Structure 1
Amino acid sequence: MRTSDVEVRYRSGSHDDVVTTLDAVDARQVAAGVPVRDFPVYVGRKNYSGHFWSATMGKHVVYESLLEQSWLWLADFAHEITSIAAQPMQVRGADGSRTRTRIPDFMCLTSTGSVRVVDVKPAVMLRKDAVAESLAWMAAACRSRGWEYDVWTGPDPVVLRNVRWIAAARAPHVMARLDVASLLAAASGGRTFADLEARLASSNRRSPRLELLGALWLGALTTDLTSPLGPDSWLEPTHA
């Protein structure tokens, strides 16, 4: 695929339409823009769209379905993701004898400098030839540009439930008063959630549970998120 033959349209942060080609587009400008389309709201609509407050972005990010909302919870928690954009661009180009137009669901920038484009689809949709062919074309376009491309079909429900609980501490006012250094000192060698919470409480810490969740959100503490988080969960400093 010739990236110079693939058209990209996005909307800048000032809501201006920008049309360029895949080889010339600056992913940072795309990620800093606004969604290229709006979601209509009407009676009987099957999808549940809305606005997700992202700690990564410090603002709301739109989603078109509850599955996309689930992806946003996990993306917001992923420490390597530094920027999240929803409905970031329209990509148009040839696929054999036909012309395809796609708007991927999300674009992410990462701390390693990579660009990740993500489409969120229920697994059952991937069985449809038309959907699979469209996604394959999008994957080829992204990879020819040197971008990562993922099709995400859903979360591990236990991990998602844990992340949503941990996210109770992601609010800026909680993060601002988090004393990570002393918390890590108390957690040295590893302790259960209940034991560490009790140790913090005995030191007259204001909100020991929120502090633990905040440290987990930041990645300062680690635990097994594939098991339900509870009093017996083992917590330890990430860089022990």
Structure 2
Amino acid sequence: MAADRGAGFEAVFLDPIGKVVQQRWVDAALAVAFEDLPPVSAFPVIPGRRWGPGLWWSATTGRHVSAGSNAMRTQLMVLDRDPRVVGLSGRPVRLLWRNPRGQVRSWVPQLFARYTDGTALLADCPSHPEAGGERALKAAEVMAEACALIGWTYRRLAPLDEVLAANLKWLAGYRHPRNAGRLHLAAAVQQAFTRPRPLIEGAEAVGDPIEILPAVFHAMWHGHLSTPLQTPLHERILVGPRTLPDVGDRTGRHNNADGDAPGGASCAGGLQQAPQDAAHEAAGDGHGGGR
């Protein structure tokens, strides 16, 4: 099936001036900086939801990333903290393909992340394993196939443990550079935690905790200091140098050992999205199941 369908994948996206472009997937993957593009379609607003679409300020890029759900925002925190990630965007591309019956189908993954080695992750952020239903699970198989063709990775990212998510959310509040504090404070904070010690003791060794703790949390967010994030943060928690594997390689990007190098020429006038797919997306059914 992969051999039959692979050449038929097409990408739809908005260029920097907002014009809709449709191109062969392998060509677009090679030439397009998806991390710099706006959403190809808006995140749906679902009545009754406690959390709607919004923006996440990325410490990695210094720009805002569109987020469509609380589950997606949590995954953005993980990727924004990953030192291998150099670019992030929300819903930058729609993929088109034909099913075995010859019908055109489409899917818009929620997240795009670019890595330092030039490869990328396309991901959806379901709030539970069955989110999005059968259509989302079938689309996940196709997305994985499309990404494997070009040496990228697709994942439905599992929700984080509640404690880990809460800790990351807390540290994310200090991700902005302003929390690094005055000149030379970062170096003093690093020196105070050369060896693991309770959070409050290290902060007090540098100065007034009211001033010092934001700089400590900023260093923890960026991985300059570490602590076991599976444990609730508190004033006596041990903080030490460097980054512990508190989240791990949750993207699974290194599991994808195959895939061909992208290449080829552009393809105009190809697949057209099926009307029923557009209807599903308008109903909130085609945004990766991040609910």
Q: SS of the residue aligned with 2:231?
A: coil
- Inter-partner Cα distance in structure 1 for 2:186 and 2:21: 43
Matches within 5 A, 1:105-124: 105-124=110-129
1:225 to 221, 229, 254: 229
- Inter-partner Cα distance in structure 2 for 1:176 and 1:210: 8
- Inter-partner Cα distance in structure 1 for 2:222 and 2:129: 34
- Inter-partner Cα distance in structure 1 for 2:197 and 2:237: 8
In structure 2, the residue matched to 1:64 is: 68
Q: SS of the residue aligned with 2:27?
A: coil
- Inter-partner Cα distance in structure 2 for 1:108 and 1:119: 11
Q: Which has the higher contact order (CA 8 A, sep 6+)?
A: 2
Structure 1 residues 224 and 64: alpha-carbon distance in aligned structure 2, compared to 1, 3 A threshold: same
1:5: how far off?
Answer: 1.8
Unaligned runs of 5+ in 2: 245-291
Answer yes or no: is 1:52 the counterpart of 2:56: yes
Structure 1 residues 91 and 78: alpha-carbon distance in aligned structure 2, compared to 1, 3 A threshold: same
TM-score, length basis structure 1: 0.88
1:22 to 22, 25, 40: 25
Q: SS of the residue aligned with 1:125?
A: coil
Mapped contact 1:93–1:100 kept (Cα < 8 A) = yes
- Inter-partner Cα distance in structure 2 for 1:130 and 1:95: 12
Q: SS of the residue aligned with 1:153?
A: coil
CA RMSD of aligned residues (A): 2.4
- Inter-partner Cα distance in structure 1 for 2:242 and 2:60: 20
- Inter-partner Cα distance in structure 2 for 1:7 and 1:69: 27
1:150: how far off?
Answer: 0.9
2:202 to 196, 201, 204: 196
1:239: how far off?
Answer: 7.5
Q: Which runs of 4+ in 1 moved over 4 A?
A: none
1:75 to 64, 72, 79: 79
User: How many residue pairs align between the two structures?
Assistant: 237
- Inter-partner Cα distance in structure 2 for 1:148 and 1:113: 12
Structure 1 residues 118 and 101: alpha-carbon distance in aligned structure 2, compared to 1, 3 A threshold: same
- Inter-partner Cα distance in structure 1 for 2:117 and 2:238: 29
2:97 to 86, 93, 112: 93
Select the structure that is richer in strand: 1
Mapped contact 2:225–2:240 kept (Cα < 8 A) = yes
In structure 1, the residue matched to 2:278 is: none
Percent identical among aligned pairs is 22
Mapped contact 1:168–1:210 kept (Cα < 8 A) = no
